[in-house]
Structure 1
């Protein structure tokens, strides 16, 4: 099954693409860096050995000079042979304050000379000298300085630098070829190991996620986790659990959607029937029979509740998730309009205080924020209408203040408050209703609107009654 999913996404199925190619490049790069770190001391050691070999030949020539009495001169053929064996143009031997020179029959005058002092044994100097020789152009003369085989003796050789440079280039070429071979073999071995342990499982997870995203209702695409106990195994099990939950959730939502469509149709017909029953009850209420006059108000109130419930369900089903259109909103005027629509303004039973400052502004969708306020004010009015007795001080107030980067709008009433049962499912549709016969849709819709604006709706703390706090960001992007 996974192989079939990989065939649908060839970009991920390629072994040498994505993480695989990055892994190979990284391994080769690290190995080459290590080789470079090793190469520089190795090149310096090669150059030092080459110079020491030439110096040893010069020491042999110096011994020959020591063996010849001072009154005698070495034959020219012998001196030339000594110089040719050392590859030098001249040899200078210094001992006890005296200097002896051996040079070719046709002496060479150096144009550019560079000194290689073998008495300096520190690694940085040797590396610097090796790089200087390797990067220098042809035509330079090398002056090799080193100690002889006798106390306080000094030997100098003058020779062309080009032979040393050629051998160093050949040596470097060999090192590069060997390094590339080692890097290739090591990278391949590490890649196969890492690929088996990590890359292949990641490819499997990626292929599964892409395939499941295209068909989340296909239960056959739910990942079958392995028995690994490391992070990859945890990821596989968590992904399998998430896909299983998502599969069940989507199936449940599809069933709920189908059921909701059926309920909406039934509810629509029921509303029409209830409306007809309401018309009949209005006619019955006009009869003079005392029993009818006593029972008719209850019948009318019951039908009104049933019609309101049906209408709320239909409105919630038709609710469209439109993103907010952010514009500056004068909040005080919006609260006044919401109070009028919720029938709390000029209500003979309820006092309404709009305590929002005149210049207080928020940024949001005026229609949606207005609906949020209407729902909260309507709930507050209905809660106060249940307070028994006449002449009671029933008050609804709305305040607003800026706190840090947020605007906090509070809708407060001094009603009976919320029972503990209602607090548990306060913002859950069809479950968060406080009053009998309510749908609980008002608070659910209000919370959705607040969250769509990047804010939140919470039940606040108050000594008496109920308080809802709306927290909205003061700064939003205005389209």
Structure 2
């Protein structure tokens, strides 16, 4: 109970209400004391007026008047003359004098608190203004014990009333908090627990219903998060299923390509010049296809093989990519440009680097072909003391808005119509395996530029298996 939000709110409500009642109690008890003393002055004034009306009042009647007024002496000043009107023996000397004429509020509160917490019986003198201007002032002496008992009785009644009010207020606030805060929060918690039990079930996504603005904003944020998570989980499941299917296909395709690789030996023995020129490229293409199938099988196990770093002549890799893509151009007006220094050597896995550049060039070619306009694809490279930078640029129409928003997200970042976006995702993963980055430098109506940055890392001489 004490650890719950409603329980702590209930306790705080009682404390704050009681604190407010105490702040009301202090001036109230001071006011009660002032009224009590003023009433004694008024009684004393009435008794003195009775004596002034009849000078021959008996001692018994005088004593009765003083007893009814609950005072010992009454002094009335009229016409600048101070007269002791009524008097009786006092049990002890006067302890203090209090002047109620224009007394400040702080003084009244201070005197009231002092009286309330002082249990010793005392005799005090009280001075005030006569009622209805029946003189210049009236002064009485009285016992403090009856005053203190009356103040205690009044204070207890005030505290009891305060306790009733605070309890009633606390219960109302407790019920209000449970209805407007605690109950909706518990509902959100139940939704979270239900969703956690089966996050792939879209029916368990919370539907915002809270009427309190802050709670509704929290529910909407939670609903958005759950929707995104459910979609991500479904996508992950689809990727897992696709990975299994691709692994099976790659396994069989690898066997087929291995058989096809055996037939290339006969092709290489042909005397036809065109066949001799194209045979090595065919062999290389089939070899890469076999390696790709093997890598796909590893990827289906959620692990991309680590790059086998060696010294790679970048111009050779780019030349193979361009030659392969030229065969796919057909009748489209697409030109290719290579700006790679022939002596430029990078530290990379040649097969993985080929796949990265091939994916980027192929995406550029497909984008230009879909636009129906002529275009150019260029691959260039530079180097500095820390890295090699390879840029693949084209003059195509630029990436669509959706592709830019989900550039490296599988099945969402496709740059061409019908594309899956896997090429960019795999390329980014391969570049990361080299410790580098794959970034989109620019895209628009004038074309697109991707940059591959590979760190130089340690000196080339330190690589253990350099070619």
Structure 1 length-normalised TM: 0.65
Kept in 1, the 8 Å contact 2:390–2:451? The answer is: no
| Contact map agreement 1:140 1:160 (CA 8 A) in 2 | yes
1:52 matched residue in structure 2: 38
Aligned match of 2:174: 191
Equivalent positions of 1:438-449 (< 5 A) are: 439-445=423-429
Q: Is the 8 A contact 1:80 1:105 kept in 2?
A: no
Q: Secondary structure at the match of 2:423?
A: coil
In structure 2, C-alpha distance between the alignment counterparts of 1:65 and 1:351, rounded to whole Å: 132
Q: Point out where structure 2 has 5 or more consecutive residues left out of the alignment.
A: 318-339, 365-377, 454-467
Q: Deviations over 1:405-450 (max 9, x none)?
A: xxxxx8644654574456736424476689xx99334543279899
Partner of 1:309: 292
Residues 468 and 103 (structure 1), Cα distance of their counterparts in 2 relative to 1, 3 Å cut: farther
User: 2:196 matched to which residue of 1?
Assistant: 213
Which of 97, 105, 126 is residue 89 of structure 2 equivalent to? 105
The 5-angstrom pairing of residues 98-247 of structure 1 reads: 98-100=82-84, 102-105=86-89, 107-110=91-94, 112-113=95-96, 115-120=97-102, 122-149=104-131, 150=133, 152-218=135-201, 221-223=204-206, 226=209, 232=215, 236=219, 239-240=222-223, 243=226, 246-247=229-230
Task: Confirm or deny: 8 A CA contact 2:72 2:90 kept in the other structure.
Answer: no
Q: Return the offset for 1:58.
A: 1.7
Residue 122 of structure 1 and its aligned partner are, at CA, apart by 4.8
Greater radius of gyration (CA): 2
Distance in 1, matches of 2:102 and 2:433, equals: 80
Q: How far, CA to CA, are the matches of 1:308 and 1:59 in structure 2?
A: 119
CA distance in 2, matches of 1:378, 1:213: 40
Does the CA-based 8 Å contact 2:381-2:390 persist in structure 1? yes
Aligned with 1:283 (options 262, 265, 269): 265
Residues 26/382 of structure 1: CA separation in 2 closer, same or farther (3 Å cut): closer
Query: Which residue is 1:22 aligned to?
Result: 8
Which shifted more, 280-289 or 163-172?
280-289
Q: Deviations over 1:52-72 (max 9, x none)?
A: 111112212332453465xx8
The answer for the alignment partner of 2:239 in structure 1 is: 256
Indicate conservation of the 8 Å contact 2:410/2:425, yes or no: yes
Q: 1:396 aligns with which of 373, 377, 382?
A: 382
Q: In 2, distance between residues paired with 1:351 and 1:294? A: 24
| Correspondence list, 1:40-119, <5 A | 40-67=26-53, 76-95=59-78, 96-100=80-84, 102-105=86-89, 107-110=91-94, 112-113=95-96, 115-119=97-101
**Who is 1:460 aligned against?**
441
Deviation per CA, 1:326-349, whole angstroms, max 9, x where unpaired?
xxxxxxxxxxx9996665599994
Structure 1 residues without counterparts, runs of 5 or longer: 1-13, 322-336, 355-369, 387-391, 401-409, 471-479
1:301 match: secondary structure: helix
Given the two structures, how large is their TM-score scaled by the length of structure 2?
0.66
Matched residue of 1:440: which SS? helix
Q: Name the CA shift for 1:246/1:37 in 2 (closer, same or farther; >3 Å).
A: same
Count the aligned residue pairs: 401
Distance 2:295 2:92 in 1: 110
Cα distance between partner residues in 1 of 2:451 and 2:308: 15
Select 1:270's aligned residue among 243, 248, 253. Answer: 253
